[in-house]
Amino acid sequence: MTPPVYSTNRTCSRATPWLPLTLLGLLGALAGCAAEDPNQPSVVPPPTGTDPGPGPIGELPPPDTCDIPGSPLRRLSRFEYENTVEHLLGVTGNVSKPLEADASSKFANDSKAISFTLKGIDGYRAAAQAIAKQATPDDATSAVVAGCATLGAECGAPFIASFGERAFRRPVAEGERVDLQALFDAGFAAAGLTGGVRAVIEAALQYPYFLYRLEASPADAASVRPSSWEMASRLSYLLWGSMPDATLFEAARQDQLQTPAQILGQANRMLEDPKARRQVAFFHARKYDYAKVESFERNPVAYPTWIPGMATQFRQESDNFVAHVALDINGKFGDLFTSKFTFLNDPLAEFYGLPKPGTGAVFQKVETDGVKRGGLLTQGSVLMATTPGGRSNPVVRGHFATQDIFCQTVPEPPAGLVVTPPEITPGVGVRQRLNEHAKDPGCASCHILMDPVGFAFEHYDGVGLWRELENDLPIDDKGNIANGDAQGEFDGVMGLQQKAATSKDAARCYVQGWATYALGRELETADTCTQDRLGAAFEASGGNIKQLMLDLTQTNAFLMRKAEAAPQ
């Protein structure tokens, strides 16, 4: 016998009526910051014409006066921790493994959801010890790390000053210097230079100014401009997901990270740095929910051509693609969906059944036909990440598109609903199998948001390969979007991508993602002003991604800090 397969998530609600508003729309309807606050500017109206093209990169936008709901303390996410350790010490390789899991938020950086557990503290300590050891395999390497020609105790003080400044992202305070010197001496006494250097690294990587992004707060609840040192970190973690580089540190030392123009100048420079590519790749993989794909495996019976490890290649394809669109070609939001190129290496091209670029394992930009391939939604990463089981799943794919591309809310299914997936029988296509969703009014109210969008993906199987038949039947990949400005019918994934590329809802959903990531917390009603401002500028630029990243550095929320007052 076969007991029902359970699903407590992706099922339909009988209780909650569908809310026909996007989060943005809802916030906008509720807030309207211009109307409520006479100090706020009115929302810049969207341009009436079509694509105005990108403005010159680096132009200063008008000053932002949006209110900031708060600037809660941020701690390095695992992604940021790994990047920072790499750029601080050159140590790589899953160094964040001992750390507790990140806050379970969209971008793993929700500052309001950071947890405090003994296991987590143990994790920071274990990671610091392992990294210290890895950075200093022997005395000769320790001398290089310490920047010292000798192996003597005199190496300690200059090492502490220079390493400490980079680790804490500001000059070492006297209390820290004294402590670190004592630790260096103790380590040196036990095991020479290596012992001393390790003790300093082990401590520094657990210090508050390393793990947290601490910023001085005013006594009252007013906004203040962060110091140049603090701004260096704001910039580097926003655009690189890592610590500042030497140029930023120098600018901080000269106190030249104060005016919006100074900050914009650095941001422009930083987007040219390869470190920005990693950040852009991380953002999109979380935004469009394919970061998880690398942990997926596939059943070779269902997918005879599947090659274990191919999911890593999928991820690299998409990483290269989004970084290229955003950073190399001054691309627009719509280009994420309508570009007729992708990045392939020989194994991935062979897997897709496309001509090999002849570059071996190296990814190479290649033209695509714009029919079967072209755009993020035709890449293996998205197609596989939206297929949790052994068979393509229009419900999951529709849910993905509705929620992650258009930011429409799909209500949670009724608690405890146990769903038996339909049996696969010959001659019955996927639309027929899922017909129960349409017949039962309790299911239909939600599934009409998902299934008709998901059917459009049916030409792609669970590992992203194009197919002509599903369960031996021809595929009907017509889709339909139920609500929002992209409402209406479309043909296949290419049709869906056309809709996404031109939808204001989708563009605002994308801006909402960046704003959430940049602020490191869930957006609140009071953030509507910032979002609207970013959204209007994004629209005015024709959806220029690089410009959006620059604009993020020019918001009040980024340029200023608001302290949280003590409770009364």
Partner 1 sequence: MIKSTNRISRRLILRSGAAVIGLPFLEAMLRPGQSFAQADQVAQRFVSFYTPGGTLLEYWRPVGTETAWEFQKMLAPLTPFKAKINMIDALDMSVAIDADAGEGHHHCRGSAGVLTGHSLFGSFADGPSIDQLIADEIMKVHQSPFKSLEFATGWGTGIGNNAPHSSNMINMAGNDMPLAPATDPLSTFNRIFGDLQGDMAMGDQVAVSLQVLDSVARQYQSAAAQVGYADRVKLEQHLTLVTEARAKAEDIANTVCGAPKINMDPGFYEVRDATKDQILDYKGDPNKQSDMNVKSGDLVPTIGDVMTQLMVAALGCGLTNVASMQWGDSEAKFLLNFLKDEAGQPFKDHHHGYQHDRGFQAGSLEIIYNFYAQKFADVLGKLDAVQEANGATLLDNAAVLYVSELQKPDTHSRNDMPFILAGTAAGKMRSGRYIQVPGPRQPHNHLLLAICQLYGFQGTVVGNPKYCTSALSGLS
Residues 36-95 that bind partner 1 (CB under 8 A): 70, 72-73
Judged by CB under 8 A, does residue 206 bind partner 1?
yes
If one asks whether residue 12 binds partner 1 (CB under 8 A), the answer comes out as no
- Point out which residues pair with 344 in neighbouring strands: 364
Q: Indicate whether 28 belongs to the interface with partner 1 (CB under 8 A).
A: no
Q: Does 308 bind partner 1 (CB under 8 A)?
A: yes
Per rule CB under 8 A, is residue 362 in the interface with partner 1?
A: no
**Among residues 158, 208, 355, 360, which is the contact residue for partner 1, using CB under 8 A?**
208
Report the alpha-carbon angle 143-145-150, nearest 5: 20
CB of 479 to partner 1, least distance (A): 22
Which residues make Cβ contacts (< 8 Å) with residue 195, sequence separation at least 6? 187, 188, 189
Amino acid at 391: R
Q: How far apart are CA 542 and CA 53, in angstroms?
A: 5
Contact criterion met (CB below 8 Å) for 493 and 456: yes
CA distance 463 to 296: 10
Residue 302 engages partner 1 in binding (rule: CB under 8 A): yes
Q: Is 8 among the residues that bind partner 1 (CB under 8 A)?
A: yes
Phi-psi group of 165: left, alpha or beta (phi > 0 → left; psi -120 to 50 → alpha; rest → beta): alpha
Q: Decide: is 340 part of the binding site for partner 1 (CB under 8 A).
A: no
Q: How far apart are CB 175 and partner 1 at their closest, in Å?
A: 5
Which residue type occupies 482? Answer: A
105-124: contacts with partner 1 (CB under 8 A): 114, 116-122
Q: How far is the CB of 435 from partner 1 (least distance, A)?
A: 18
Task: Please tell me whether residue 469 binds partner 1 under the rule CB under 8 A.
Answer: no
1 binds partner 1 (CB under 8 A): yes
Report the residue from 29, 59, 90, 97 that binds partner 1 according to the rule CB under 8 A.
Answer: 97
Q: Does 524 bind partner 1 (CB under 8 A)?
A: no
Q: Which residues pair with 341 in a beta bridge?
A: 367
126 versus 362: smaller Cβ distance to partner 1: 126
Question: Closest distance between partner 1 and the C-beta of residue 397, in Å?
Answer: 14
Using the minimum distance from each CB to partner 1, give the nearer residue, 120 or 370: 120
**Cβ-contact 208, 153 below 8 angstroms:** no
3-state helix, strand, coil in the chain (%, to 5): 50, 5, 45
| By the rule CB under 8 A, 133 interacts with partner 1 | yes
Shorter beta-carbon distance to partner 1: residue 273 or 294: 294
Of 237, 234, 238, the C-alpha closest to 225 is 234
Q: Does 370 bind partner 1 (CB under 8 A)?
A: no
Site string for partner 1, 383-422 (x = CB under 8 A): -----xxxx-x---------------------xx-x--x-
Three-class secondary structure of residue 436 per DSSP = helix
Counting residues that bind partner 1 (by CB under 8 A) gives 80
Q: Toward partner 1, which CB reaches closer, 296 or 466?
A: 296
Question: Please, are residues 489 and 27 in contact by the beta-carbon 8 Å criterion?
Answer: no
Min dist. Cβ of residue 49 to partner 1 (A): 45
Q: Which residues of 153-176 are buried (b: 16+ CB within 10 A; e: fewer)?
A: eebbeebbeebbbbbbbbebeeeb
Q: Which of 28, 164, 187, 479 binds partner 1 (CB under 8 A)?
A: 187
Q: Binding of partner 1 at residue 2 (CB under 8 A)? A: yes
Task: Return the range that interacts with partner 1 (CB under 8 A); candidates 39-47, 202-210, 233-241, 269-277.
Answer: 202-210
CB 139 within 8 A of CB 193: yes
Site string for partner 1, 225-264 (x = CB under 8 A): ----------------------------------------
Angle between helices 23-30 and 504-519 (to 10 degrees): 80
Binders of partner 1 in range 162-181 (CB under 8 A)? 173, 175-176, 179-180
Binding residues among 416-445 for partner 1 as defined by CB under 8 A: 416, 418, 421, 424
Does 299 participate in binding partner 1 (rule CB under 8 A)?
yes
Among 295, 426, 472, 474, binds partner 1 (CB under 8 A): 295
H-helix segments, 376-527: 380-385, 394-400, 430-433, 435-439, 441-454, 492-502, 504-519
Nearer to partner 1, 157 or 563 (CB): 563
The reply on whether position 218 binds partner 1 by CB under 8 A is yes
C-beta of 2 vs 48, nearer to partner 1: 2
Q: Does 564 bind partner 1 (CB under 8 A)?
A: yes
Distance of CA 406 to the CA centre of its chain: 16
Distances (CA, A) of 181 to 62, 186, 188, 284: 48, 9, 10, 43
Query: Between 213 and 287, whose beta carbon lies closer to partner 1?
Result: 213
Q: What whole-number distance in Å separates Cα of residue 232 and Cα of residue 227?
A: 9
CA–CA separation, 95 vs 130, rounded Å? 8
Torsion of CA 499, 500, 502, 508, to 10 degrees: 140
CB of 12 vs partner 1, minimal distance in Å: 16
